[in-house]
Structure 1
């Protein structure tokens, strides 16, 4: 009499759970890391707009204000760990006078940047996917100013 042993399914649930865990965990990890990176970029862009608006408003003239606004925005992004991110700073103002620094002027700073999503290999399509970010901040210039 020959005894035939049939192979049972013992232990297969553990293997299936491990594969399912890996297949679900990797995309979830990528999503969480991407959300954190975009949130970091959003904080950085918002801080850059605020810093650029303040730097522009406190500058002695418009040319120096644009230079200071750009430098302040770059520093704010670097503080959030986005020093290498592309940056565009646009300054507009509404003023009754000839200068954006005259009393009653309203300075509006628009900052645009982008963050690259993490862990995406270049073989999937060339450039890494990115998320565009922008922020706007408005600074009113006081009507009464110090006269030198």
Structure 2
């Protein structure tokens, strides 16, 4: 049986261990902040853009329905734009453009349809103006087509 004496511990090793104690917590916190802050920003930006996309889509649908339910062509455009503004206001969108196009014949004639496009721009959150230039924005469009039935009264 060969018995060897236990190796002697390095006296500097315990000093190095005590110097490193607690640094894992600091490193974890910094790493968490470096990764978590951009992730939260991306989630907020995507939520803003998605909210605007839902608003534009709902506004296009409302405008199309208001157009085909109008009693005449003269009031249909204003009714459609008013319905789009109301729907956009429900989603917190202030500025948008609403384009109305009739296809398949004159507006509000049997067999025709109304194409509605609502376009808005969404500013990205937390981008300060001090960086210079224009603020970052994403353009969102909502499109909807509403047919005017073949067996409906001609209102053109």
TM (norm. structure 1) is 0.85
Displaced runs of 4 or more, over 4 A: 4-7
2:131 paired with 1:124: yes
Displacement of 1:39 after TM fit? 0.8
> What is the TM-score when the length of structure 2 is the normalising length?
0.81
CA distance in 1, matches of 2:129, 2:28: 31
2:140 partner SS: strand
* Distance in 2 (alpha carbons) for counterparts of 1:125 and 1:59: 46
CA deviations over 1:64-90 (Å, ceiling 9, x no partner)? 1111111111111111222x2x21111
Between 121-130 and 17-26, the greater mean CA deviation after superposition: 121-130
Give the root-mean-square deviation of aligned CA atoms. 2.1
The separation in 1 between residues aligned to 2:81 and 2:125, in whole angstroms, is 26
Q: Tell me, which stretches of 5 or more residues in structure 1 are unaligned?
A: none
Deviation readout 1:2-38 (Å, 9 max, x if unpaired): xx96661111111111111111111111000001111
Q: How does 1:16-27 map to 2 (within 5 A)?
A: 16-27=27-38
SS at match of 1:143: coil
SS state of the match for residue 19, structure 2?
Answer: coil
Size of the aligned set, in residue pairs, is 141
The structure whose Rg is larger is 2
SS of the residue corresponding to residue 41 of structure 1 reads: helix
